[in-house]
Chains A and B, each alone.
Chain A
Amino acid sequence: MSDPGLYTHLYAQLRDCAELIDHVIVDLETNGMAGVKEREALAGLLRALQAAPASSLDAVLLANVLRENRIASRANWSEIADAIDRGDASKAMIGRLEELARILESERADMHARMHGSHAR
């Protein structure tokens, strides 16, 4: 496979993961209850990331993204997962999710540019 294929493969994973996190942020920020399934999924993913990153493709992806962006690698993801379960919409909690969402969005945009053969904006 040449590079565009590898990038589309990663792009789809990054996009899905970024969508999940932003869905939970919107849900928490709007006091919504529509995203129970998404909250559970994100909490599960963050716990996998903390305990056994090689246990799922999504956790592997997230672990790689965090490794490349050392700023977020020190976070206690199980703690954040517990807060999501509680529906904690505190500023600190949203801030941590936003940091993750920003990093993923930056990676996704970069991958999209690579897929289409250009970083031109």
Chain B
Amino acid sequence: MLGKYFQGTLPQLIERARLLKGKIPRTLPRDYGALIRTCETELDNIIGRLRGLQKVPAAGGTALHHARLRQFKRAIADLDHIETTAIAVLNRAHIDDHHANRLLYRICQEIGYPLVTPTVTTLSTSYFYIDTKLNLMFIPPAEGSFLLHLPDLYHELGHPLLTHQDHPVLDRLRVQYLECMAHIHDHFAAQRAKEEQRRGPRGFKDQIDLWELLWSKYWLTEFFCDLYATLTLGPAFAWSHLHLYLKMGGHAFALPDGTRNLSHPADDARMRAILEALRRSGFQDEATEINRRWQEALGLTTDVPAPDYMHCYAAEPIIFMVEKAAKGVADMECRLARPGTSDPVHLMLDQAWRHFWADPANYQRWEANAVTELFALCDGKVRSDAGSAKTS
């Protein structure tokens, strides 16, 4: 059956992939070159896999047929993903996207980003995120007109650094990441052993297993990206985290349970890691101020930590992780944010938060001018001392 099905389907799917290549627009600015190349390479890869399925003989055991069907499904899923994301983004590229791409390029230049600058689209339906395979960053449509959340761009830039393999510069960060992974494993193994020794309840041991799984599967990556952003941008990222918590955050000390697993670490744990990284970077005063505001923000809610909270997010592994991430980012020779850092985009994002707190009532007016100035800077229309100017 499968042989006949493939005989009819595969040529059609190959044609679909070829058709998509023809749908890539030809008149986009050069910022889209990397995404276009990625699309073409991915589509060629999918066509190759589909053609490979045509070559395997129809005869064979059950396991062979199962494997071929799985390979087929994966090729279709990949084709679907390219069509509904990358091709859609390329076909709907907008002037706002062009501005965002120039801004991200400028940021990558400033911080010595070791990979090709991701392409940005303003077609996000879910805040900021990056598709690491396509190297395509999604931001909300209006986000480029405001400054306070732009620090999250730096967080997103962290993700590809942890996924690309066989890259000598990125290996320096990955070594530290994997050391943290092993450390987390040891940390929870020690907790489990302690619980067994004192014959603790089975339910708590299951909790420890769940915490370890979530740290390993999701949270360590998120923490590392927060730390990459903090280490390369500084206090503006911490403010942005506070901002996001107040606007969209859930329980600041959320813990997963059997029915409610969390893809992101608790906001409080993230802030603790961010503040630790700031202190290590020479921003002690800023860290104190941000922590004061953070505690005030927590005071506006009824959020309090559950008794198990510090078992899940103990101080020791968080400090260990901050040390390792700082070493990894420094070893990659990225530009680290320090109190004297004067790169224009860095200064602009830093200034935005200073203005916000110093004069909240007039912030919006200041921001409108600053955004215009920022995009003029990114378009090469003004001198690169923009961040220090026009602050009235």
Contacts and interface: CB of A to CB of B under 8 A. Distances in A.
B203 interface: no
B156 A5 contact: yes
A80 interface: no
Interface in A53-87: 53-57, 60, 63-64, 67-68
A16 B316 CA distance: 34
B212 to A, nearest CB: 8
Interface stretch (B74-82, B278-286, B295-303, B338-346): B74-82
B70 A9 contact: no
A98 B62 CA distance: 10
A15 B75 CA distance: 10
B68 interface: yes
A43 interface: no
Interface string B52-69: 000011001101101110
A84 to B, nearest CB: 14
Interface in A21-72: 22, 25-26, 29-30, 52-57, 60, 63-64, 67-68
Interface string A1-18: 111111011111101001
B74 A60 contact: no
A3 B128 CA distance: 9
Given A12-B132, A12-B133, A60 B216 contact: yes
Interface in B112-167: 124-133, 138, 155-156, 159, 162-163, 165
Contact of A101 (B67, B81, B133): B67
Interface stretch (B91-99, B218-226, B234-242, B318-326): B218-226
A1 B225 contact: yes
Q: Of residues B155, B213, B216, B225, which shows the largest number of chain A Cβ atoms within 10 Å of its Cβ?
A: B216
Contacts of B74: 15, 18-19, 105, 108
A53 B316 CA distance: 22
B174 interface: yes
A1 B64 contact: no
A8 B156 CA distance: 13
Interface string B163-204: 101000000001000100110010000000000000000000
| Best-surrounded residue of A9, A64, A116 (most CB of chain B within 10 A) | A9
A60 B213 CA distance: 10
B159 A1 contact: yes
B126 A9 contact: no
A54 B163 contact: no
B63 A94 contact: yes
Contact of A60 (B127, B155, B181, B209): B181
Contacts of B124: 2
B159 A5 contact: yes
Contacts of B182: 52, 54
B71 A19 contact: yes
Main SS of the interface on chain B? helix
Contact of A64 (B67, B159, B162, B217): B217
Most interface-central of A8, A10, A30, A52 (chain B CB within 10 A): A8
A15 B165 CA distance: 15
Contacts of B138: 4-5
A80 B182 CA distance: 24
Given A5-B130, A64-B216, A64-B217, A55 B178 contact: yes
B263 interface: yes
Given A1-B225, A3-B263, A22-B71, A30 B64 contact: yes
Contacts of A8: 129-133
Nearest to A1: B129
B78 A15 contact: yes
Contacts of B209: 67
A56 B70 CA distance: 25
Contact of A29 (B63, B78, B131, B178): B63
A110 B80 CA distance: 15
Nearest to A5: B129
B73 interface: yes
A116 B57 CA distance: 34
B84 interface: yes
Given A1-B225, A5-B131, A54-B178, A98 B63 contact: yes
A54 to B, nearest CB: 4
Interface in A85-100: 94-95, 98
A109 B364 CA distance: 45
Given A9-B159, A108-B74, A54 B68 contact: no
A25 B252 CA distance: 46
A116 B84 contact: yes
B64 A54 contact: no
A5 B218 CA distance: 11
